Structure 1
Amino acid sequence: MDWSPLRRSKRKCMHTIGNHKIATIYDDKLRPRVREILFDVKWKTIDVVRLGYEEEPSSPIILITVNIDDVNEDISQGAVDKIHELMVEFGLPDVHAEIKTGRLFEQAGNKQQNYDQNIHYPLELCRVPKLGVGISSDGSNRVGSLCLFLKINGSNYAMTCQHVATSSGMCTQTDAKNAIFQPAKQDLEKRKYLLNKWMRINQSYCDAIEAKKSKSTEAESMISEAHFRTLEYAPGIAKHPTTNARRDWAVIKLSDDRFETLPPNIPLKEFNATLGEMRASNEQDYESPRVFKHGRTSGWTIGALNEIRSDCRFGDGC
């Protein structure tokens, strides 16, 4: 192994699997065996990725994340050795395993994350909003993101998560009681609360406050103007029969008054700016589909779609 100062100064990079045999057999043959080997390890995530030094070829590894307080060196080393033996058994001698320490967060729902949706997207009512703005349902207390614009049989639609649009199970076209609002009612109420709090704190600036007071009633009036249209279809929240991944989506019929034409899901300006943040790999085998997302909490993010789904475990359960 090269322990030269030049090698030690290089940074390791992580890539998607791309074109490799492990992508064709991991789900069916290897995933349950790997989890069985890790039975005594209090793992948080199991990722199958490429890991190597910059500008050098990299091989796939089974990357296991463990909380720093749960590391047992003997058990961990034994598990790593057994996973490599398993890979050799299936004709994958270039695939190894590594265990690292780390933490796992549900970022969008974790109160400790330093996210502020108003930094990424202001609340002002826009006739045609961007992806990622907050929406809510008249029949639900939940708030979520506008995920995607669709054109179905000549009509304009948008997608969101079903748990945002309705608390019921499977449903089809609905009436006004399932109206969808954008901005979300919760966002308007939060803005109203913050504005009122700001006015209370700044009583000494009475003249300036008087000019701002109209905004508190403006937020109330905006609720009636924020009618986004109605929930069209929700298939029911369930796990995928093959991948066991959670399926949670719904389709909203959009208001013709606000949408004469559908806007692009990824505006060119944001597309170019976000794409520039992601360095393309020079290795053909590493190329994977690019994924763009604009969320109510996270703003614009970009990534590559890995060919193998990760295992995640929150808390102490599987």
Structure 2
Amino acid sequence: LTDKREDKRSDESGTSGSSGGASYLTAATSPRDFADNISAEEYRFYYYGLTKSIHSTPRLIARSGIDRFSIDFETVGGWNMPKEAMKKRMSIVKPGSHLITSIYDSRIRVRIREVIKEIDWECVDIARVGRHACYDDNKVFVLITCPKDAKVDHSTGMRLVQQCQDILNESGLEDVGVEIKEGTYVPLAGEDGIREHLFEPVPLIGTSIGIAYRDGAKVSCSSGTIGLYLTIGDNSTPYGLTCRHVIFPPSRPPPGGPKSGFTHNEGSFRVDAPSFVDCQEEIEDIETRLKYEEEEYACEGGLKEQQERGSEYLSEATKGLINCHIKNTNEYQDRLKTMREFDTDMGFVYAASADDLSRSEGIRDWAIIKLDPRRLDGCDDSQKIFNKAVQGTVPTSEINNPIVCPVPDSEEGGQCHPCMRVVKCGRTTGWTISEVSGIKSDCQRTKGSISTEIFIPDARASAPFSTVGDSGSMIFDFQGRVVGMIHGGNAIEGSTEKIATYATPIEDLLKDIEKELGAAVAIA
């Protein structure tokens, strides 16, 4: 099978077809044996619905089961578009809702890793996937993600799928499937994003930070999110916390090399808040608004010409428009003056983790920022969640065994299973909501270095939980406690539209920072 994402047939509208009124067709494989090749439709549309764009939909490599694949289309306006009912949904496996939540870590995780070590996989997630509107009715799958350049062919994929399925069957998990799909781990630092609260003297948590640096002949930028403020040792001065890869992208490694870390640095590696790119975009946006306001006022027969005739000839409505123009113009000019004079220098990188694994087998991806004294005034007001101070941290043990009010599986009752609902505020996507899985995911950013991370699937019915530019964002439970820090996601290569988010538990993160700095660390 070939990847036809660049072909017109891979447009977001679906596949090309004859124009005219709505018609219907079904693209399906024949009933298949376990080792049969997958069809072109199955390869391309098997995960339809996990992303908003067909272009960003993951491609299937191999799967267990002998059920045939089918998808119904309707032709509208010359395009064959999959029906709404064909969309799949991905959700968490709630703690206690399935046997796999109690035995995966102790009996299965390591064995799955051993089976798939021959291929260059990047993520292993445990999730429910299917077309049922009630997420808890969908089947549980072990989802293995491989980058396209790993070139895992169908026969190799099916062999590994069968071996993984055998492991599950031996543990009494015959109802759990195994699938291998194309995709990659995506660090969530970037250049696009929202620009709210950018020019506050004290950078608010959840807003923009970043760097600008010379990359050869051009100036490159990296942007992320300021996640928290911390205190170190007996010093009450707050330090900012974000992801290491926001400050040190691949083309700008630390002085000790791409995977090195350091502590107690003084003065080097300046950090901006807001980031350079966000600052420039906001200035350009206000300049455009001001220009439009002035052009509209000065156009022939417009407000300026009417005003010059004399106020005695103006209607009350026209006077109101002129006053509104003057008000808007003054506001835009004042904002431009403030932004152009604003010193974006937030401080410098005081410490950064090495690019490796922590003692708890999580990704080490943090950086501590020592704030410029000029940015510290009123710092207490920046550390707020739900209009109140951050309420502490969630123990790692509670993430997999949440002590929250259980949510019924259906409106008519049924067995209840607790799950941890979370929110986050990030530079790009702002406030979003989702649920934390009862089973952590495996991530392999470099061959042989495997970490276990909090797994948060996107809620397709709402905005994506996170995207590029949200690295460093903190996840909070509904009590305002910190759950973890976002660092990456799962998406197909070349796309920023993800199907899942990965995060490091805050308890593990703070312990790792304390170990490196040799001092106690607490939320400021």
Cα 1:163/1:47, change in 2 over 3 Å:
closer
Query: Is 1:143 paired with 2:223?
Result: yes
2:426 is aligned to 295
2:278 aligned with 1:191? no
- Map 1:151-166 → 2, pairs under 5 A: 151-152=231-232, 153=234, 154-165=236-247
Matched, 1:267 2:386: yes
Q: Which residue of 2 aligns with 1:20?
A: 102
Relative to structure 1, is the Cα distance of residues 64 and 27 closer, same or farther in structure 2, using a 3 angstrom cutoff? closer
Deviations 1:55-88 (A, max 9, x none): 8677743135799xx9999887766544322222
Q: Where do 1:244-263 residues align within 5 Å?
A: 246-254=363-371, 255=373, 257-261=376-380, 263=382
Q: 1:87 matched to which residue of 2? A: 168
Give TM-score scaled by structure 2 length: 0.43
* Secondary structure at 1:247 match in 2: coil
**In structure 1, C-alpha distance between the alignment counterparts of 2:348 and 2:146, rounded to whole Å:** 44
Q: 1:250 to 1:265 in 2, by over 3 A?
A: farther
Give the aligned CA root-mean-square deviation in angstroms. Answer: 4.7
Aligned residue among 329, 353, 369 for 1:235? 353
**% of aligned pairs identical?**
18
CA deviation after TM superposition for structure 1 residue 96, in Å: 2.2
* Match of residue 274 from structure 1: none
Give, in angstroms, the shift of residue 195 of structure 1: 2.9
Query: Hey, what's the Cα distance between the residues in 2 that align with 1:137 and 1:110?
Result: 11
Structure having the higher Rg:
2
The amino acid of 1:85's aligned partner reads D
Task: State the shift of 1:102 in Å.
Answer: 8.2
Give the AA of the match of 2:386: P
CA contact (8 A) 1:17 1:48 kept: no
Separation in 1, partners of 2:163, 2:225: 43
From 263, 268, 274, the equivalent of 1:172 is: 263
User: Which of 200, 206, 215 is the aligned partner of 1:126?
Assistant: 200
Gaps of 5+ in 2: 1-84, 96-100, 215-220, 256-260, 299-303, 305-324, 391-404, 410-414, 444-489, 495-524
Structure 2 residue matching 1:26: 3-state secondary structure: helix
Is structure 2 residue 131 aligned with structure 1 residue 47? no
The structure where helix makes up a greater share of residues is 1
Counterpart Cα distance in 1 of 2:381 and 2:168: 48
CA distance in 1, matches of 2:124, 2:386: 34
Q: How does 1:212-227 map to 2 (within 5 A)?
A: 212-223=332-343, 226-227=344-345
Whether the 8 Å CA contact 1:173–1:232 is kept in 2: the answer is: yes
Does 1 or 2 have the higher relative contact order (CA < 8 Å, sep 6+)? Answer: 1
Deviation at 1:230, TM superposition (A): 3.4
Residue 228 of structure 1 and its aligned partner are, at CA, apart by 2.9
Q: How many residues align?
A: 286
- How big is each residue's C-alpha offset from its partner over 1:120-177, in whole Å with a ceiling of 9 and x where there is no partner? x343x22444322111347784322101222333331220123434552433344445
- Higher share in strand: 2
Could you tell me how far apart the structure 1 residues matched to 2:211 and 2:154 are?
50
- Unpaired runs of 5+ residues, structure 1, are 1-7, 272-278
